[in-house]
Amino acid sequence: MNQDWERFGEDIKRTVQDAIDSQDFNRLNQTITNTINGAMGGLGKGLSNMSRRAARDMYKYQRRAQRHGYGWEQDRNPYMYGEERNQAGDRQYRASQESTALQKTSGLFIQTPGMKVGGIVMTVTGWTVGIGTFLTMLFLLIGTVLMGHYFGTWLQIAMGILAPFFVGSVILGNAGRVLLGRVKRFRTYIQELEGKEYCEIKELAERLKKPHKYVVKDIEKMIQKRWFRQGHLDHQKTCLIVSDKAYGQYTELMQNVERQKLEERLAKERQAQEQANMDPQVQEIVRAGDEYIKKIRECNDAIPGEEISAKIYRIEMLVAKIFNRVQQNPENISDIRRLMEYYLPTTVKLLEAYEELDAQPVQGENIISSKEEIEKTLDTLNVAFEKLLDSLFKDTAWNVSADISVLNTMLAQEGLTKDDF
């Protein structure tokens, strides 16, 4: 087949070259068409031969499968279409994954087949004996009414004997029914876990179409009876955790959360204490700074767009650092006077204007131009705030430089510098 295609290709190449050499293109199209038709005819014959060979191979395969006792549908895979084969592979993979997940958690649950059988036996025995006892008591009562008062004493004795059997059988049958229902719900809980070690009670309640409190009490009974061998409920009783390992991770997480809350509360208390001991002028500036930061954050929340949001967030971060620095070093208050009187009010006005422009349903040329101008101004403000923050560390930089100079001098006097070795 490959040799045929090479020959057809050479024919076409030679035909084109001849046309170019002779500058006669009149027969070129017809010649190439004939060559291609000949190639396709040969290809058709080749495909026909291939089809006949494939049919013979498939027939031989089917006969061989029948001789070995296999069904044709069972061994159809060698000729299965690609999509069908992929679907079968996906089904096998999902089944394998579900089986693996269940195997990982199977040791966390009690086996229920024995309990199910016991529930069926209790239910059938209880209701069978109960119905039989009830019918017996009914026949005796009817017989006594028909025969008169001669059997009154015997009726009382029979009733006294049969009544406990009747009550006991009803209790037994009802207990079996309750046990079967609980086993069914227990299996539903396991299915809903889907191999995980935790699940929200809300999901279980939705699956059973039962109230949240009902499911919580039901699971608590199962945990008490050790159906969930390592079962736990979280502190809020909103989540079922079926392994000690997962519950340990949950407990550790809750401890970290409580520790974080405690640290935040202590930090707020320290901050409140510091503010109480702070100079009233500093307190007023810090309070005003917090208000500006709050307004900047509110504008950022109201304005969509990642690029503009990043610029506003950087302004908020820089302003917060500036006021933290002033709070720690009140002597820097004079350095942020222009920030308080002009830069921050202007920043908030620009952000509010941008928010209003961005909320317009039609973004015309003037609106777009104004928004772009505000965005450029925000870049300028970011640079200004960076320089202002850097200037607040000027004294610290000088002190550090002086300390380093003194340290180098002392090390040189002691002969401990690198040049002395």
Q: What is the pLDDT of residues 70-111, one digit of tens each?
A: 333 334 444 444 444 455 555 554 444 444 444 455 578 888
pLDDT tens readout for residues 221-244: 999 888 888 888 988 888 999 888
pLDDT tens readout for residues 334-349: 778 778 888 888 889 9
- The mean pLDDT value for 284-289 works out to 86
State the alpha helices, DSSP H only, in 26-112.
Answer: 28-67, 82-105
227 SS3 class: coil
294: confidence class by pLDDT, cuts 50, 70, 90: very high
pLDDT tens readout for residues 128-160: 888 888 888 887 777 767 765 556 667 677 777
Instruction: Report the pLDDT value the prediction gives residue 24, as an integer from 0 to 100.
Output: 46
Query: Would the pLDDT of 12 be above 50?
Result: no
3-state percent helix, strand, coil for the chain, nearest multiple of 5 = 85, 0, 15
241 SS3 class: strand
Q: For residues 343 and 346, what is the distance between their CA atoms, to the nearest angstrom? A: 5
Instruction: Report the pLDDT value the prediction gives residue 217, as an integer from 0 to 100.
Output: 92
Query: Would the pLDDT of 381 be above 50?
Result: yes
In contact, 130 and 169? CB cutoff 8 Å: yes
Query: Would the pLDDT of 168 be above 80?
Result: yes
Element holding 198 (H helix, E strand):
strand 198-200
**Domain ranges, ordered by start, for the chain:** 2-67, 81-105, 113-245, 279-408
> What percent of the chain has pLDDT above 70?
64
Identity of the highest mean pLDDT range in 59-63, 117-121, 377-381: 377-381
Instruction: Report the pLDDT value the prediction gives residue 61, as an integer from 0 to 100.
Output: 45
- The mean pLDDT value for 175-202 works out to 88
Looking at 36-40, 238-242, 277-281, 318-322, which range is the least confident one? Answer: 36-40
**Greater pLDDT, 291 or 89:** 291
**Greater pLDDT, 190 or 18:** 190
- The mean pLDDT value for 14-35 works out to 48
In contact, 326 and 332? CB cutoff 8 Å: yes
Please name the residues in contact with 133: beta carbons below 8 A apart, sequence gap of 6 or more: 162, 165, 166, 169
If you average pLDDT over every residue of the chain, what do you get?
74
Q: For residues 123 and 115, what is the distance between their CA atoms, to the nearest angstrom? A: 12
44: confidence class by pLDDT, cuts 50, 70, 90: very low
199 SS3 class: strand
Query: Would the pLDDT of 58 be above 60?
Result: no
Q: For residues 236 and 108, what is the distance between their CA atoms, to the nearest angstrom? A: 22
**Greater pLDDT, 212 or 35:** 212
Residues recorded for the chain: 421
Query: Would the pLDDT of 35 be above 70?
Result: no
